[in-house]
Amino acid sequence: MISDNLTPSRPDITALPVERVAHLLRVSPKAELHVHIEGTLEPELIFALAQRNGVSLPYADVEALRKAYAFTDLQSFLDLYYAGCDVLRTEQDFFDLAWAYFQRAARDHVVRVEPFFDPQSHTARGVGFEVFMPAFIQAAQRAQDELGLSVGWIVSVLRHLSEEDALQMLDAAQPWLDHLIGIGLDSSERGNPPEKFSRVFARAREMGLHAVAHAGEEGPPAYVLGALDVLKVERIDHGVRASEDPALMQRLAREQMPLTVCPLSNVRLCVVPDLAQHNLPQLLAAGLKVTVNSDDPAYFGGYVNDNLTELFAAQPALGAAQAYALLRNSLEASFAADGDKALWIAQLDAQWRQAV
Ligand code: HPA
Ligand code: ZN
């Protein structure tokens, strides 16, 4: 049955009941385009790696650590997130981290993931690319072979550090270029506008990397504009504050610029008061190419399927059409090969056709 006012090939999904939509959200093929691999470091693994590496932690146990995850803003989270990274010392540690996440993502029917990693949070501790890159490459290969999960790594710049530091990081990344698909920009947004990294992104784009940047999470709509016009990004990470600027909203819709929105992250970091008040439905209704992602699932209480199903449970305005759009957008907005994307979209459509 094919009748939808958007695209003729889409399954007719208008009559699907809520429980069926929730099920489809969970079992459909999807891409995760905004996840920090260091943000998948679960408290249990922090304790296991601390013990393995002889690192002492200022928490009695896993429960005490989890209790500390009560954030008031982005910076209060980042302080704990960077502290958590300190247990990552050896190639085996980074492999265990990435492989654990890939297995978890596959259970959510993620077929493509483009994880960020933060080299500067490791090189500053004396842990270099030669330690974490072989681990990331091996884990990605195993994910492809054993889970059918396609992986494209995005090297991310810490925006609270200098442009010079970022340029040095890019030099160190150069030998590993074949294993990278993109450059990103994360960490403390306020006071660190995209313009600070114009030369870094220009060089990265010359190196053949796709460009993305966190913008409009805590920062103003002007930072989204800076990411578009100065860094020339192909996706905006978060971008939820774009809704404060009608002209920017129109542009994002017109250009079909993907937004990688992370609902549970936005709640945990007090960007929005709760899931029921998240502006994702408005962004979708305005025609923006929105995707749903987990950001730092070990810290924010949920992986990608949790983000999708909890948001839908909290927002009666979200139904089958929005669910299908979010899933399809995630596949379309990925940097995977066109042939792979077409295959995943065909699988998605087959699944939804079966359901109606
Ligand atoms: N925002 C900025 N920097 C980050 C985030 C985030 O949500 N997660 C990890 N680093
Ligand atoms: Zn993020």
126-137: pLDDT as tens digits: 999 999 999 999
What is the mean pLDDT of the segment spanning 269-285?
A: 98
- Which of the four pLDDT bands, split at 50, 70 and 90, describes residue 9? low
User: Does residue 295's CB lie within 6 angstroms of at least one atom of ligand 1?
Assistant: yes
User: Does residue 39's CB lie within 6 angstroms of at least one atom of ligand 1?
Assistant: yes
161 has pLDDT over 70: yes
2 has pLDDT over 70: no
User: Does residue 263's CB lie within 6 angstroms of at least one atom of ligand 1?
Assistant: no
Q: Which residues are catalytic?
A: 217
Ligand nearest to the CA of 217: 1
What is the mean pLDDT of the segment spanning 51-55?
A: 98
6 has pLDDT over 70: no
- What's the 217 CA to ligand 2 centre distance in angstroms? 9
**b/e map of 161-195 (b: 16 or more CB within 10 Å)?**
beeebbbebbebbeebeebbbbbbbbbbbeebbbe
- What's the 75 CA to ligand 1 centre distance in angstroms? 9
**pLDDT tens for residues 59-109?**
999 999 999 999 999 999 999 999 999 999 999 999 999 999 999 999 999
Q: Which atom from ligand 1 is nearest to the alpha carbon of 118?
A: 10
- Which of the four pLDDT bands, split at 50, 70 and 90, describes residue 13? confident
* pTM check: above 0.85: yes
Ligand nearest to the CA of 114: 2
4 has pLDDT over 90: no
- Which of the four pLDDT bands, split at 50, 70 and 90, describes residue 1? very low
Tokens read off for 337? 């090969």
**pLDDT tens for residues 182-204?**
999 999 999 999 999 999 999 99
186 closest CA partner among 227, 240, 139, 145:
227
What is the mean pLDDT of the segment spanning 228-234?
A: 98
Alpha carbon dihedral 203, 205, 211, 213, in 10-degree steps, equals 20
- What's the 54 CA to ligand 1 centre distance in angstroms? 28
Q: Which atom from ligand 1 is nearest to the alpha carbon of 265?
A: 7
- Name the residue with the closest Cα to ligand 1, atom 2: 187
- What's the 101 CA to ligand 1 centre distance in angstroms? 17
The chain-wide mean pLDDT, for the chain, equals 96
Q: Which atom from ligand 1 is nearest to the alpha carbon of 218?
A: 1
Place of tokens 């208008």: 14
**265 SS3 class:** helix
- Which helix (H) or strand (E) covers residue 237, if one does? strand 235-238
User: Does residue 38's CB lie within 6 angstroms of at least one atom of ligand 1?
Assistant: no
Pocket test for ligand 1, best of 35, 71, 217 (most atoms within 8 A of CB): 217
Pocket test for ligand 1, best of 37, 74, 217 (most atoms within 8 A of CB): 74
- What's the 305 CA to ligand 2 centre distance in angstroms? 17
Alpha carbon dihedral 49, 50, 54, 57, in 10-degree steps, equals 180
293 closest CA partner among 341, 253, 326, 340:
326
Pocket test for ligand 1, best of 80, 81, 240 (most atoms within 8 A of CB): 81
User: Does residue 268's CB lie within 6 angstroms of at least one atom of ligand 1?
Assistant: no
User: Does residue 237's CB lie within 6 angstroms of at least one atom of ligand 1?
Assistant: no
User: Does residue 296's CB lie within 6 angstroms of at least one atom of ligand 1?
Assistant: yes
**pLDDT tens for residues 112-125?**
999 999 999 999 99
What is the mean pLDDT of the segment spanning 260-283?
A: 98
Q: Is the torsion defined by CA of 212, 277, 193, 173 positive or negative?
A: negative
Ligand nearest to the CA of 295: 2
208 has pLDDT over 50: yes
**b/e map of 277-311 (b: 16 or more CB within 10 Å)?**
ebbbeebbebebbbbbbbbbbbbbbbbbbbbbbbb
User: Does residue 42's CB lie within 6 angstroms of at least one atom of ligand 1?
Assistant: no
Q: Who's near 81: CB < 8 A, 6+ residues apart?
A: 36, 38, 39, 296, 299
